[in-house]
Amino acid sequence: MMSLIRVYKDWLITKFIIWLKGSPFHIKVPIDYMILSITISGYLPKNLNALELFGMYGLYVTKHYSKLCQSVELWELDPEFVRYARKFCDKNVNVIQGDSVKAVKEFRLMGKYNLLVIDNPLVSPYGNGLYEHFNVMPEIFDATEEQFILIFNVILVNPKSLYEDYKFNSISDLKNRDIWIRKRMEFYGTPLEKLTPQEYVKLYSTMFEEWGLIVDYSTFLPRNHRVGFLGFALRKKILS
Ligand SMILES: C[S@@+](CC[C@H](N)C(=O)[O-])C[C@H]1O[C@@H](n2cnc3c(N)ncnc32)[C@H](O)[C@@H]1O
């Protein structure tokens, strides 16, 4: 159970950051820079309808971009986080309690989105057989418009050091870690346990092409030394 102190500390910090974003400070958080980079490159759609698959209570990421959107559909599994998300999020954010991965797999997403945000948990597995965003690609692209923006997390360290940092070292933890390493190798098709931003951009660009998408733009931004955002402007190939 999440402590009330942590939730309200996050809420106060977020309120303070949002205040600092105004004049005269104009500070920015990583998601702001990611969206700025896509905007400056000319690829941000005018009317944004966003889908956020792993929303939590929306204070770390959603709160910073939801004002730019017509609508945001935020999915969260944990009912406690859902309750706070409904309290903290802007009015244009529709909070849905449920398993977003299952919804994607079963093609149950109702909208057509032009902004996908996938802020999956840092350490995998985080659910029954769930690893990073591997379980939602490429099915998620069925729920998008012809042209869309995809922003998602990639890890910048290897799974071994993440497990060490979090002191996940029981026998079952180590078994899980090794399965994750294997899943990463299968997904990326490389024996490398740690990938650089350049390698990620190259690998995803190839995968997107294979899944029938054209990569118009790609960019990377670190969030901290462990995790970064990849951002892509993608377009569906027209089949003749
Ligand atoms: C890294 S946090 C997301 C932070 C969030 N984007 C924000 O702006 O504050 C990951 C969240 O994904 C949720 N989650 C994990 N598995 C899920 C699933 N299958 N469907 C929906 N949410 C899930 C977790 O409960 C957790 O709150």
Residue 138 has pLDDT above 90, yes or no: yes
Tell me the CA distances in angstroms from 129 to 81, 135, 213, 230, one per residue in order. 22, 9, 26, 23
Residue range 165-172: mean pLDDT, rounded: 96
Q: What is the CATH number of domain 29-236?
A: 3.40.50.150
What end-to-end distance do the CA atoms of the chain give, in Å?
A: 52
Q: What is the pLDDT of residue 97?
A: 98
State pLDDT tens for residues 30-67.
999 999 999 999 999 999 999 999 999 999 999 999 99
Residue type, 15: K
Residue minimizing CA distance to atom 5 of ligand 1: 55
CA–CA dist 106, 115 (Å, integer): 20
Confidence band (pLDDT; 50, 70, 90) for 240?
A: low
State pLDDT tens for residues 90-124.
999 999 999 999 999 999 998 899 999 999 999 99
**Ligand 1 mutation pick, 51, 65, 76, max ligand atoms within 8 A of CB:** 76
Q: CB under 6 Å to ligand 1: residues?
A: 54-56, 58-62, 75-78, 81, 99-101, 119, 121, 126-127
State pLDDT tens for residues 181-215.
999 999 999 999 999 999 999 999 999 999 999 99
Domain boundaries defined on the chain: 29-236
Give the predicted TM-score (pTM) of the model.
Answer: 0.96
Residue minimizing CA distance to atom 26 of ligand 1: 56
Q: What is the pLDDT of residue 58?
A: 96
Closest atom of ligand 1 relative to the 102 alpha carbon: 19
Q: What is the pLDDT of residue 238?
A: 83
Confidence band (pLDDT; 50, 70, 90) for 154?
A: very high
